[in-house]
C-alpha cells in the first residue's frame, strides 16, 4: 500500500476555493494509493523541478550554511498528514522550487504561489520550528541529446531565498482541512473497494453493443453522488448516463 497521508506538497489542493474538483482529484489519488495505484502526473515542468532540487541545494545552500543538510524524507505531523522538507539549515526546514522558464521564475518570486507558502508552513508543523525557507532556482531546461548552455547571467541573479515565520492561524487552517477531508478519503476508499470487477472484453462489448458509456472516474464532477463504479485492471470508471 502506498502512503495515503495528506502531504505538504499538495496541501494547497485541500484549501483551494471553487467547485471542489481539485480537492476531489487529490482525495481520489490518495484513495487509489491505498490500492497501490499511482496516478502519473509527471510533466516536463515537474521533471525539471525534481531534477534540480538537489543541484540547487548544492549550489546555493550547502556552500553558505555550515549547519545545512539535504533531507528529502517524510516527517509525520499526525496519523493523517506529514511533510517532506528538501533541506535543513540548522533546525529550520526548507523547500526548493525550480520554475521551468524565466517568465515562470519572475512571476513566482514576485508573487509566491499560495500553495508553496502553505507547503513551507506545513513543513514547519512537522519540524516544530518557528521559521522555514523557500528557495527558487532558475536554470535552463534540460535538452537531452543536445548541447546545453546555461542562461547568460550569473547564479547570483538566478535564485531567491525566502524566509517565512510560523503562522499559527495557517497551521490551524491546515489541520482543519485535514480533519474535514480524512472521512471523505476513507469514504472514497470504501467506494473503490466496492467496485464491480469487469474484464476488458466486457468493458468493450457493453459499450460497443450494449448502449453503455463508461468514463474514467476522475472525470466525474462529484464522485460522492455516484452509487457505484467499475474496476477494470487498475482503472476505475463510472457509467455516464
Residues ≥6 apart with Cβ < 8 Å to 167? 121
The three cell numbers of residue 113 are: 504561489
- pLDDT band at 144, cuts 50/70/90? confident
Beta bridge partners of 132: 164
CA gap 161, 95 in Å, rounded: 10
CA 145 to chain centre: 29
166 exposed, middle or buried (CB, 10 Å; 0-12, 13-18, 19+)? middle
pLDDT per residue as tens digits for the range 162-175: 999 999 999 999 99
pLDDT per residue as tens digits for the range 176-210: 999 999 999 999 999 999 999 999 999 999 999 99
Compute the chain's Rg from CA coordinates.
21
Let me know: does 125 contact 77? Beta carbons within 8 Å: yes
CA gap 177, 171 in Å, rounded: 10
Asked if residue 102 has pLDDT above 60, the reply is yes
Summarize the confidence of residues 61-66 as an average pLDDT.
Answer: 96
CA gap 90, 100 in Å, rounded: 29
- pLDDT band at 19, cuts 50/70/90? low
| Domain locations along the chain | 42-167, 195-239
CA gap 160, 103 in Å, rounded: 14
CA gap 235, 233 in Å, rounded: 5
Please name which of 222, 214, 163, 212 lies closest in space to residue 191, comparing C-alpha atoms: 222
- The verdict on domain 42-167 having CATH code 3.90.320.10 is yes
Amino acid at each position: 500500500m502506498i502512503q495515503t497521508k495528506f502531504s505538504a506538497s499538495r496541501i494547497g489542493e485541500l484549501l483551494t476555493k471553487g467547485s471542489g474538483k481539485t480537492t476531489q482529484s487529490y482525495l481520489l489519488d490518495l484513495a487509489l494509493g491505498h490500492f497501490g495505484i499511482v496516478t502519473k502526473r509527471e510533466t516536463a515542468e515537474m521533471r525539471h523541478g525534481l531534477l534540480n532540487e538537489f543541484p540547487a541545494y548544492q549550489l546555493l545552500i550547502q556552500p553558505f550554511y555550515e549547519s545545512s543538510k539535504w533531507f528529502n524524507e517524510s516527517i509525520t505531523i499526525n496519523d493523517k498528514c506529514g511533510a517532506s522538507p528538501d533541506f535543513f539549515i540548522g533546525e529550520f526546514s526548507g523547500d526548493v522550487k525550480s520554475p521551468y522558464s524565466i517568465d515562470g521564475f519572475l512571476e513566482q518570486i514576485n508573487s509566491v504561489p499560495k500553495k508553496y507558502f502553505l507547503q513551507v508552513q506545513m513543513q514547519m508543523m512537522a519540524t516544530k520550528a518557528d521559521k522555514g525557507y523557500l528557495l527558487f532556482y532558475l536554470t535552463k531546461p534540460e535538452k537531452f541529446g543536445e548541447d546545453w548552455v546555461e542562461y547568460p547571467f550569473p547564479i547570483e541573479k538566478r535564485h531567491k531565498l525566502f524566509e517565512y515565520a510560523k503562522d499559527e492561524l495557517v497551521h490551524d487552517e491546515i489541520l482543519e482541512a485535514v480533519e474535514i477531508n480524512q472521512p471523505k478519503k476513507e469514504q472514497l476508499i470504501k467506494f473503490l473497494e466496492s467496485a464491480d470487477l469487469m474484464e476488458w472484453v466486457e468493458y468493450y462489448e457493453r459499450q460497443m453493443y450494449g448502449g453503455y458509456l463508461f468514463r474514467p472516474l476522475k472525470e466525474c464532477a462529484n464522485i460522492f453522488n455516484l452509487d457505484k463504479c467499475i474496476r477494470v485492471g487498475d482503472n476505475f470508471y463510472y457509467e455516464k448516463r
